[in-house]
């Protein structure tokens, strides 16, 4: 009888300790750590846009930020209470109405420069942060000695495995082409082009087929090289029209990063971004620009 009581007492003691530990963990973490308590339709996310990173800035490279300034941005965001979220969290916020932390920020890099791997990526790892890079497929598939170095697929695979995002920036539509008979140059994705060898403009069907094939092929390249394609694209030069969106959606793309400034809310698939990758753009200037967003 005494042994039965002792065993029962030991069992109750273990159970009580386990319940106290569980209550302690729940009190510390909350039901979902860091998630906003605001209704989902009142939550907003900021998206920042960068391009190239260099050890030193140059006046003739207007889309390049120094590594020092980029690190300053990361520190300033942290000091001001911002949380850098990954693309998966942002996608779920936009498409599925899942809550994110207050003052959430998503970092993006356009064009797929190699400097993202060599400079930005180590700085992000130091801060325990993440970012996404939008890649021009042809620039990684075809070496151009006259262009800035671009990411290799091996580098992209490493980035993907270590929490960075790699997404579509078209395969070979990131250029200005002749969009009129007299040679006026405009973004190739957003405008029908003049076909010099045929001495005429593209027909609507030719234009539609060209842009669909390009965006769909880049999704296929991502799937072949990384084992997945997520249907997320940054639009070259932020220039697009209704047909671009329609053809992209046919290619399985459902989230579009633009160059328009603003705050992002759930359900809006065309993403606003603040250009944070300007030369000599300080952390204080970044905060001032963020505070003007609506």
Mean pLDDT value across residues 66-73:
97
* CB atoms closer than 10 angstroms to residue 153: 17
What is the pLDDT, as a whole number, of residue 43?
98
Residues 139-156 have pLDDT tens digits of 999 988 889 999 999 999
Mean pLDDT value across residues 3-32:
43
CATH number of 38-290, picked from 3.40.640.10, 3.40.50.200, 3.90.1150.10, 3.20.20.370: 3.20.20.370
The conformational region for residue 258 under phi > 0 = left, psi -120 to 50 = alpha, else beta, is beta
Task: Please provide the average confidence, as pLDDT, over all residues in the chain.
Answer: 90
Question: pLDDT: is 265 or 26 the higher one?
Answer: 265
What is the pLDDT, as a whole number, of residue 13?
52
- List, as one string, the DSSP characters of 148-161: --B--HHHHHHHHH
Pairing type for strands 64-66 and 52-54 reads parallel
Cβ(111)–Cβ(49) under 8 Å? no
> How far apart (Å, rounded) are the C-alpha atoms in residues 293 and 150?
31
What is the pLDDT, as a whole number, of residue 61?
74
> How far apart (Å, rounded) are the C-alpha atoms in residues 40 and 37?
9
Q: CA quadruple 235, 236, 240, 243: dihedral positive or negative?
A: negative
Mean pLDDT value across residues 98-125:
98
Domain locations in the chain? Answer: 1-30, 38-290
pLDDT band at 2 (very low <50, low <70, confident <90, very high): very low
Lowest mean pLDDT among 53-62, 174-183, 212-221: 53-62
Lowest mean pLDDT among 30-34, 134-138, 167-171: 30-34
Assess whether pLDDT exceeds 60 at residue 7: no
Assess whether pLDDT exceeds 60 at residue 223: yes
Assess whether pLDDT exceeds 60 at residue 15: no
What is the pLDDT, as a whole number, of residue 59?
66
Assess whether pLDDT exceeds 60 at residue 247: yes
Write the CA distances from 115 to 78, 175, 189, integer angstroms.
23, 21, 25
pTM: 0.87
pLDDT band at 56 (very low <50, low <70, confident <90, very high): confident
What is the pLDDT, as a whole number, of residue 11?
46
Mean pLDDT value across residues 247-269:
98
């Amino acid at each position: 009888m005494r042994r039965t009581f002792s065993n029962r007492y030991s069992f109750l003691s273990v159970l009580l300790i386990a319940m106290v530990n569980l209550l302690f963990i729940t009190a510390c973490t909350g039901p979902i750590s860091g998630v906003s308590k605001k209704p989902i339709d009142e939550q907003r996310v900021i998206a920042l846009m960068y391009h190239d990173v260099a050890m030193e800035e140059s006046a003739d490279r207007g889309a390049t930020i120094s590594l020092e300034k980029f690190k300053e941005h990361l520190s300033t965001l942290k000091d001001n209470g911002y949380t850098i979220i990954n693309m998966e969290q942002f996608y779920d916020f936009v498409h599925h109405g899942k809550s994110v932390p207050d003052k959430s920020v998503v970092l993006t890099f356009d064009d797929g420069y190699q400097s993202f791997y060599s400079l930005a990526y180590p700085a992000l790892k130091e801060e325990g942060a993440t970012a996404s890079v939008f890649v021009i497929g042809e620039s990684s598939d075809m070496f151009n000695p006259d262009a800035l170095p671009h990411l290799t697929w091996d580098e992209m695979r490493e980035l993907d495995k270590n929490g960075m995002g790699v997404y579509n920036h078209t395969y070979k539509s990131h250029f200005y082409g002749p969009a009129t008979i007299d040679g006026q140059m405009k973004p190739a994705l957003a405008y029908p082009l003049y076909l010099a060898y045929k001495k005429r403009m593209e027909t609507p069907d030719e234009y539609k087929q060209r842009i669909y094939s390009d965006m769909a092929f880049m999704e296929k390249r991502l799937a072949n090289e990384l084992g997945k394609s997520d249907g997320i694209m940054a639009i070259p030069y932020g220039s697009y029209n209704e047909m671009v969106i329609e053809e992209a959606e046919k290619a399985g793309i459902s989230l579009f990063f633009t160059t328009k400034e603003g705050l992002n809310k759930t359900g809006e698939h065309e993403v606003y971004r603040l250009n944070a990758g300007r030369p000599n753009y300080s952390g204080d200037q970044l905060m001032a620009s963020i505070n003007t967003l609506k």
